[in-house]
Amino acid sequence: MTDTKTFNLPDVGEGLTEAEILTWHVKPGDTVTVNQTIVEIETAKAAVELPCPYAGVITELFVAEGDVVLVGTPILTIATSGPTTTQAPGPGAARPEVAQAIGSLPTSAAPAAREAVLVGYGVKQTGTPQRRARVLAHDPHGTTAPEAGPPGEAVKPVRHGGLEIGRHAEEVLSRRAAVLAKPPVRRLAKDLHVDLSVVDPTGAGGVITRADVERTAMLTAAVSTESRPASTRTTPLMRDASTPREVRTPIKGVTKVMAEAMVASAFTAPHVTEWVEVDVTRTLDLVDRLRTRPQFEGVKVSPLLLVATGLIRAARAHPGVNATWDAAAGEIVTKNYVNLGIAAATPRGLVVPNVKDADLLDLVGLARALQDLVETARAGRTSPADMAGGTITITNVGVFGVDGGTPIINPGESAILCMGRAVAKPWVVEGEVRVRQVMQLTLSFDHRLVDGALGSQVLASVARFLEDPAVELVLG
């Protein structure tokens, strides 16, 4: 007995009302299993993989890639095998608070605990080999595999780039099906018009990385330029005649939400900004020494780790800077824990995920947490739960070669620390002028919660730590 199930776009948490369909991983006629990834969506806060709630055969897709869909809208139907079909919890069963709790589970959570929920609700599951093969076989360029007929029968033509192709496409399609690349890398390849089947992988196990795609795109562009007549080539500073004069990009998703949040913060919280220049020579020396320690093997150690440690210590010593102004309740909520936010620039816009209970982590644990947070954000996999509940934030403009700035406070928090680049400058040390590595630190704070004295104490505390972090860590 066959039954047709309709899968509506679920609420993946945080009370979000709509999402954009980024990538379909299935098409009508595909056989799917429970919790197999079927579509990738982008909400106002993050990109999320949605799993299939039923086992069966996809019969129809109601929305296309690029469509913005309201929560509760039917997006596909699945023909199931009736009572024997295994069914995961329905979309309506995932409450926002459950989704948030799931999204904050550590990566070491037992597989059985993850299998009790749908993958899309804050947790990215590790699929079976069969599921991975199906997802990897998805062609980012929009090619539809040819339908196989009886032996000896000609393969039906398929569409590719607007042209009909026949049996000769089988070899190309099989090569693309074998390509190993994560969804963000496939999306990058699509944006750069790179055919993944011709990319030489350098990642572990033959996985194609972002660098592989970018290298191939550059080589392709170089070959294309060299093949053009000299009279038609342009220098990097010249605009190509085919380049449109203007490009309009819809304001949506992460960009829209972040813009609204920043405007609300700027016009709600009275910002005060202070800055100080710090001799971070000893900080950079300690970073170099930590990189050689076996405890940090495989972990990225950067100045951000010690700046984060200094801010966490300052927030614990001065809890008034780690607070929220609750206008509705008429209360100031002081947090005795530190959920450290890190502003991260991603292809989808600025996001601010946070390390939960960062004040409970040792130096190695904090380094691992920061690395996971940044890598997840850059891959576009930050969950809504990862961005909720932050208490204080760091933004690092130094990585862009900038000395400093006046950051806007993340909504719901009372302060944000901006770290600039470290540059060689003449500095007076023990009465002598020497060349030292100097960094500018900038602290913006909500003057409703933090007065000038408290803000200055916090900034001075971070600066003092960075002047000699090894001694500060030993002395506690």
Q: Which residues are the active-site residues?
A: 447
Residue with tokens 């000609």: 154
Structure tokens at 428: 């007076």
Supply the DSSP symbol for 208. B
Q: How many CB atoms lie within 10 A of CB 343?
A: 20
Burial bucket for residue 297 (CB in 10 Å: 0-12, 13-18, 19+): exposed
Residue 222 CA to residue 210 CA, distance in Å, equals: 18
What SS3 class is residue 172?
helix
Burial bucket for residue 310 (CB in 10 Å: 0-12, 13-18, 19+): buried
Q: Cβ distance 257 to 45 under 8 Å? A: yes
Which one, of 53, 51, 48, 33, lies nearest residue 100 by Cα?
Answer: 48
Residues contacting 141, CB < 8 A, separation 6+ = 160, 161, 190, 195
What angle is formed at CA 77 by the lines to CA 74 and CA 79, rounded to 5 degrees?
Answer: 160
What SS3 class is residue 81?
coil
Residue 371 CA to residue 272 CA, distance in Å, equals: 30
Extended beta strands in 280-383, E state: 323-326, 331-334, 340-342, 344-346, 349-351, 354-355
Residue 356 CA to residue 388 CA, distance in Å, equals: 10
Q: Cβ distance 18 to 10 under 8 Å? A: no
What is the identity of the amino acid at 226?
Answer: E
Measured torsion, CA atoms of residues 39, 9, 125, 344, in degrees rounded to the nearest 10? 80
Supply the DSSP symbol for 205. G
Structure tokens at 14: 């945080």
Supply the DSSP symbol for 216. H
Q: What share of the chain is helix, strand, coil (3-state, %, to 5)?
A: 35, 25, 40
Residue 428 CA to residue 100 CA, distance in Å, equals: 50
